[in-house]
Amino acid sequence: MDGPNVLPVDVYRNQDFYVPAFVVKVGEKQDITEANDVLSITYSDSLTEIDSFDMTVSNWDPDNRTFKYSDKSIFNPWKNVELRMGYLGNGKNKNELQRMLTGEITTLSPNFPASGGPTLTVRGLNLFHRFRLEQETHAFLNQTDTEIAEFLVKRIAEQIHKTSPGMNLELDRNDIKANKPRERELKPSYLLMNNQYPIVFLMERARRIGYELTMTYQEKNRVTFHFRPSSEVLRRTYILEWGVSLISFQPTFRTADQVSKVTVRGWDPKKKKPIVKTATRADLKDQKVVDPNMLGVNDPQVAQEVTVDRPIASEKEAKKYAIDILRQKATELITAKGKTIGVPDLRAGVKVQIKGFGRFSGTYVITDTTHTIGDGGYTTDFGARMEGSLG
């Protein structure tokens, strides 16, 4: 049902869709290239990967017969970079465009083709990649996942202060408060981070328990990490409709890996006895996943047994792990690829309502996006997973 947080993509109609715009700021310099030199610019993000951008520019100066950018230091790696994208119109200037990424340049790739002019592709990564600094080993006993996240963010902050003392990192206090009630009854009695980067361990843990790890830049040199269930990272819901705002849409209905139950077997090191817990589709009732029966497809009763390769310290942890595995498989029942007009707010984690495709219409979660400004204007390609029907 439509509501105040359900917005059609044409809410952008009061802007001029014929004037897509972007700003790339390197260091303190803004508009660092001549407008006609930029051939294309792309921003990509994902629920599981560090977001990035690619910019391809013309690299030839015909007047001086020199390489315009590749021989200069303007795009040298490690320089700070900020990307904004959107549309100009209604008095909006370039400083009001949507900020897509704050990070640093990591790659330069000049191309000298057999025909045509030389080009240079510049790639940058979100600052997340900077946090892979020192591998550590820690054992966590009877701590909630948010308590573990707090500890790891502090460790990351201590590591980064050695090279960037002015950067401040913190875990969102609202997340800490909101996560306490849901985590109180289920504390992993034992977790081991064995010679891993804290940021990598935290990202892996978030995916395993159905959380998502993101971060925002509150102001210069202040970063806030968000560690919360995936259903709460989702922002406003957009409507994408066939023949209206969707340029293309290709859903995939995949049943080969679907199972009706998952069994996790482990070992209790204290009681010295096996742990066996099973999760069924009944455990996913409130998990926002699609049931094949809702789509008119009989769900075969196929059992899947999973043997974990690390200690499971309690029946509660084993049950949670089994539910997480089953939920992950269920979210892969219907996935999709699509393309729409460029919408800067359409990012990984956002909900969309897809309309006009029969039983493939429904509520989807965006899993990855690619925003491109080039010869074809501004478009957004996306991947998504279905969470439920529109009804």
The CATH number linked to 85 is 2.30.300.10
Establish if 6 belongs to a structural domain. no
CA angle 2-210-171, nearest 5°? 95
pLDDT of residue 174: 92
Domain membership of residue 380 as a residue range: 235-254+333-388
Q: How far is C-alpha 21 from the geometric centre of its chain's CA atoms?
A: 23
Please say which residue of 314, 330, 346 terminates a domain: 330
- How do strand 52-58 and strand 136-140 relate by DSSP bridges? unpaired
Q: Do 171 and 51 lie in a common domain?
A: no
Residue 184 DSSP one-character state: T
Q: Which amino acid is at 108?
A: L
pLDDT of residue 147: 94
CB 188 within 8 A of CB 313: yes
Q: Do 245 and 380 lie in a common domain?
A: yes
Segments in the chain below pLDDT 50: 1, 4, 11, 13-16, 232-235
CATH code, 362: 2.40.30.150
How many independent structural domains does the chain possess? 4
Please say which residue of 109, 127, 145 terminates a domain: 127
pLDDT of residue 233: 39
Residue 242 DSSP one-character state: B
CB 353 within 8 A of CB 6: yes
CB 110 within 8 A of CB 59: yes
Please say which residue of 92, 127, 162 terminates a domain: 127
pTM of the model: 0.74
CATH code, 165: 3.55.50
Coil, strand or helix: which one is 250? strand
- Cα–Cα distance between 211 and 226 in angstroms, integer? 10
Q: Which amino acid is at 126?
A: N
Q: What crossing angle do the helices spanning 198-208 and 145-161 adopt, rounded to 10°?
A: 160
Coil, strand or helix: which one is 145? helix
